[in-house]
Every structure is written in structure tokens, then in C-alpha cells.
Amino acid sequence: MLTLLLWHLPTQAYAEMAPVLVGAGDIAECWFELFNGTGGAEATATLLDRIEGTVFTVGDHAYRKGTAKEFQTCYAPTWGRHKARTRPTPGNHDFDTQNAAPYYAYFGAAASAAGKGYYSYDLGVWHIIALNSNLTAEAGAAQEQWLRADLMAHTAPCTLAYWHHPVFSSGGHGNGHRMRTTWPVLYEFGVDVVVNGHDHDYERFAPQAPTGQFDPKHGIREFVVGTGGAHLRKFKTVRPNSEIRDASTWGVLKLTLHPASYEWEFIPVAGGAFHDAGCGVCVPPR
């Protein structure tokens, strides 16, 4: 009995030390909530209340225009209570007002400099990259140059990137072009996971190459998590390599980041029946 206990202690301690990244996008829908209360945003914020770790957002924090009033009225009372641990990225609705000035003012230094909105940080041995898909991502553009320099400077064993507009999606917006030239850069440097929002649903893809081909060895696994509280939307055309989809419940994606692997879990709000969980290993060096 004692031998078995000692055998399991290191594994348990190891699991407890793994950092957690948790969040979603498409969050506080003010015009809808005028008639329905804080609804989805409050329900998902309640999930965050009991999950420790760093909170990520993948855009569209306050609908419909990302105004200062919408941030203060709808986002601040819900997800805003986790502002001190939030690492955001902007969505297209955040840019509907004054080049996202209210977004940058609300999050301050955590959002990076106004006009940029991209930055990186580390969680454990993982390198985390937050990008701004509202900017041009073409080869040679400032964000693309920064991304290459950042990836060359941080040779972490595992890397995750997140932004608003997905490259691959079975949702209403479908596959997107905005960050299509970014995927080959991430693939070249062995990035493991990408997380996006924009489509108001949850979807998980198998690891893919930049062309969309299934690549179990070097491919990037993408999650679409536009389930932060805005109204949900039905799927349209199911894309290749889509492994699981749901548009029935709000929720958050919890990622537990181990030194050479990761676990994911989609946690639904109270009353939500859909759940998704699994694990993956980090991409080997190319």
C-alpha cells in the first residue's frame, strides 16, 4: 500500500503543476441580453469562477460594436471579473468602433499596443502566441515578420497560437482567408495547437497541414470556440478533418499544458449536455 502511494505521488504532483489555459470567444452580446439578462456571458463567466489558470479570449468581447459602453455594461460584469488573468485577442466586432480603441483602452497593456494587438508569453514550457486576425497577415507584413522572429527566438517544445478568424471551419462563416498565409508559418515552426472563435459554435479538427490535408505527425490541431455567450449558430458545410461539432450550448475550452503533451476539455454551462475531452502530443521537430 505504501509502495503504491509513493509510486503515484510524483504523477499527481506533476498533473497539479501543469498550467491551464481556459477561455472562448464571442462573449457578451449586449443587444440580446437587454431582453434576456446577461445570459450566456454570465453562464460562461461562472464556469471561469471555478477554473484556475490563464484566461484567453478569441475576440468579439462586447456586441454589437465593441463600444466603451458595451464593454462596461456587458463584458465587465461577467468576464470582466477575470480581467487580471486574461490575455485577449480582438475580433471583428471589437474593431467596429474607432479601430478597436475601446478594446485597447479596456484591456490596457494586456492587449499589446494599439494598432498591433499581437504578442506572446510563456506558460510552463509552452510558448503562447496571440495574433490579431483583423490585420493583414500577408507575407512580409509587420505581424508576419514579428511572428517569424518570435518563433525563431522561442524554441519551446510545445507552442499554441490563438486569434479570432479560423482558417478551417464548418460554421456559418466557413473556411476563412484572413490567416491562411499564417498557417504555413506556424506549420514550418512546429506549432501544435490553434484556437479561434468567430463562428458561434464549438468544433475540433484533426491535425492538419496548411493545405487542409490530414497530417497526424506534423499537423496543427485547431479548435473553434465561439461559445462564450453570444447567440449560437447552426453548422453549414462540414469540412474535411472535422472530428466533432456542437452548436447547442455555450461553454469554455480548458487546455492543460504538459511538457510534451496537452489535454483538452470543452466544459458546457449549467444545463448543457455536450462535452468533449481528449489529449494530444506535441509535434516532433521538423
| CATH number (domain holding residue 199) | 3.60.21.10
Does a structural domain hold residue 286? no
pLDDT value at residue 272: 95
Using pLDDT thresholds of 50, 70 and 90, give the confidence band for residue 34.
very low
Residue 235 lies in a domain: yes
pLDDT band at 38 (very low <50, low <70, confident <90, very high): low
Residue 110 has pLDDT above 70, yes or no: yes
All cell numbers assigned to 265:
476539455
Is pLDDT at 9 greater than 80 in this prediction? no
**Total domains present in the chain:** 1
- What does the pLDDT read at residue 137? 67
Question: Which string of b and e fits 96-130 if b means at least 16 CB within 10 Å?
Answer: bbeebebbbebbeebbbeeeebbbbeebbebbbbb
Summary mean pLDDT of the chain: 91
Task: Give every strand in the sheet of 221-225, ordered side by side.
Answer: 119-123, 126-130, 158-162, 193-196, 221-225, 202-205, 242-246
pLDDT above 90 (res 12): no
**39, part of any domain:** yes
CB atoms inside a 10 Å sphere around CB 265: 18
For 138-180, the pLDDT digits (tens) are 767 899 999 999 999 998 999 999 999 999 999 999 999 889 9
Q: Kindly report the pTM of this predicted structure.
A: 0.92
Position 183 scores a pLDDT of: 95
Is the pLDDT at 94 greater than 60? The verdict is: yes
The predicted pLDDT at position 140 comes to: 72
Q: Is 3 part of a structural domain of the chain?
A: no
The pLDDT tens digits of the residues spanning 182-209 come to 999 999 999 999 999 999 999 999 999 9
The answer to whether position 282 is within a domain reads no
Domain residues for 166? 18-275
Count CB atoms within 10 A of the CB of residue 260: 10
pLDDT of residue 32: 55
Residue 128 maps to a domain: yes
Residue 186 domain-assigned (yes or no): yes
How many C-beta atoms lie closer than 10 Å to residue 284's C-beta? 10
21-35, 59-73, 257-271: range with lowest mean pLDDT: 21-35
- pLDDT: which is higher, 108 or 36: 108
In a domain, 78, yes or no: yes
